A and B are shown apart, each in its own frame.
Chain A
């Protein structure tokens, strides 16, 4: 068991808020990664085409 020195007030509901924010960010990052993956895919396809003689 860790002993935490909670000397600052985390603020009312701060843990609850972080759980919500983290969940929203999780969804946002999930979609961001899909977009990045698709962009990367397009980049690879066009890169291959431009290299073709």
Chain B
């Protein structure tokens, strides 16, 4: 086999085909066993319909056997998705939209005599701010006598985390990184509050399923008691209940951050103001000046909050990832991006003191966040002092993280004398090593300084760095 060929580590479960990299380009192989289903998928018009509706990524067919595999039938070159994110990195509304897209795609497929043979959030990615189905091999010919094979999978991967988040107003999707196959229905049923049993759809799909599933009945493959109408009823019922789920937590701890920051003048308490404009405004002007000289394609904003700076950079045409550990902010940014149409923002729910690890078989099935993320520009504004003071992480560790994420870095240094840091220090018995000298020593290990500018007279400093 050619050394140019590399099978994708997450593509091994489905015998219909697999994804691989050939000469640095991503392809999908269709095996002989899936040939009939694929032919129907194309000839029925389902593929064209889903691509036209922006619910499935498009592909190009190639008659070359690039893998050299005997099972080969056809090679597809799918549309490239620049960044692959996982459900445990999404906010509630993203998982909800992904679930609804899966159900809509399945309902559409039924109209063309096909059905989804699996229903996992890993088949969905976010393209231009919207969920899109990426697994072309998930469609198989529909047999009206058979129920939905992916019903349990859908319930555990989508319905259970969404229901738990809805009832407890906590982001339960995070635990999908521990439960790769989804939260077991029997477990979800035990965790959900009693009042959830009053909802007929939740009762049927989670509580009843959880109770019956734990009895261990064998699958009845030759059941003839099913029909398309019954299946549609199940899919519509799932769609109804998920549409009604809400994560309407009033606010996160960071929800007033920008209001407060905007009101803050760009001056310290002890110095007479000589500069006009807010702290946020001056920061924006400095960042705009720095990025204008570069042609950045991709960027990540660490601790993006509601995305004031992410939106600034996205407006400049940079494909931005806005990451924050505050779920409320991420959910709000996702909702705002849908309204404003700023579709080059991908909000992600990530704690950078514990970014997503590699999980699944050999810990390689789903890659760690730091291996997937290779941005042109990393922005870390008013955030690293939290890592150092609140979490006792060193500047060296912070810059090792920034180095892993991208080429250029804009980072804000906040001095110990800053009002916000003084407040944080009141809660600490021991102050971790913290000074501008330590900050400079730490970045010099991995980066060179391009420019540094003070943010008005606030005492805070912006650094523009480039990887060595």
Taking Cβ atoms with an 8 Å cutoff, the residues of A that contact B are 2-26, 28-29
Residue numbers in B under 8 Å from A25 (CB-CB): 204, 230, 233-234, 237
Nearest residue (CB) in A for B143 is A2
Residue of A nearest to B205 (CB): A21
Is B55 an interface residue, CB under 8 A from the partner?
no
User: In the bound complex, how far is the Cα of B233 from the Cα of A23, in angstroms?
Assistant: 9
- Alpha-carbon separation in the docked complex, A24 to B230 (Å): 10
Which applies to chain A's interface (DSSP): helix, strand, loop or mixed? helix
Closest-by-CB residue of A relative to B230 is A22
Apart from A12-B216, A17-B213, A29-B233, list 7 A-B contacts with CB within 8 A. A5-B34, A10-B149, A11-B219, A12-B217, A13-B217, A18-B147, A26-B230
Verify B209–A21 contact, CB threshold 8 A: yes
Does B431 make an interface contact (CB < 8 A)? no
Residue of A nearest to B204 (CB): A21
Q: Mark B115-152, 1 if CB is under 8 A from A, else 0.
A: 00110000000000000000000001101001111111
Does B221 have its Cβ within 8 Å of any Cβ on chain A? yes
What residues of chain A lie closer than 8 Å to B140, measured between beta carbons?
Answer: 4-5
In the complex, whether B220 has a CB less than 8 A from a CB of chain A is yes
Contact with A along B35-52 (1 / 0, CB 8 A): 011000000000000000
Distance between Cα atoms of A9 and B13 in the complex (Å): 11
Number of interface residues of B (CB under 8 A): 44
Q: What distance in Å separates the Cβ of B224 from its nearest Cβ neighbour in chain A?
A: 10
Most chain A CB neighbours (cut-off 10 Å) among B148, B208, B219, B234: B219
- Complex alpha-carbon distance, A8 and B249, angstroms: 36
Contact string against A for B residues 302-313, beta-carbon threshold 8 Å, 1 for contact and 0 otherwise: 000000000000
Q: Within the assembled complex, what's the spacing in Å between the Cα atoms of A18 and B212?
A: 11
Least Cβ–Cβ distance between B457 and chain A, in angstroms: 61
A4 vs B118: C-alpha distance in the bound complex, in angstroms? 12
Are A15 and B221 in touch, CB under 8 angstroms? yes
CA distance A9 to B219 in the complex (A): 9
How many Å lie between the Cα of A5 and that of B33 in the bound state? 8
A14 to B223, CA, bound (A): 11
B160 to chain A, nearest CB (A): 13
Which of A8, A11, A24 has its CB near the most chain B CB atoms (within 10 A)?
Answer: A11
Q: A8 to B147, Cβ gap below 8 A? A: no
Q: Once bound together, how far apart are the Cα atoms of A10 and B225, in whole Å?
A: 17
Contacts A5-B34, A8-B150 given; does A21 touch B216 at CB 8 Å = no
Inter-chain contacts of B216 with A (CB < 8 A): 12-13
15 sampled A-B residue pairs with Cβ under 8 A: A7-B16, A8-B13, A8-B117, A8-B118, A8-B149, A13-B219, A14-B151, A15-B146, A15-B147, A17-B208, A18-B147, A19-B226, A22-B147, A22-B233, A28-B200
Measured CB to CB, the closest approach of chain A to B214, in angstroms, equals: 9
Check if B15 is an interface residue, CB within 8 A of chain A: yes
- How many angstroms from the CA of A20 to the CA of B237 in the assembled complex? 14
Is B213 in contact with A11, judged by CB distance below 8 angstroms?
Answer: yes
- Most chain B CB inside 10 Å of its own CB: which residue of A16, A19, A23: A16
Nearest to A24 among chain B residues (CB) is: B204
**Which residue of chain B has its CB nearest to the CB of A29?**
B233
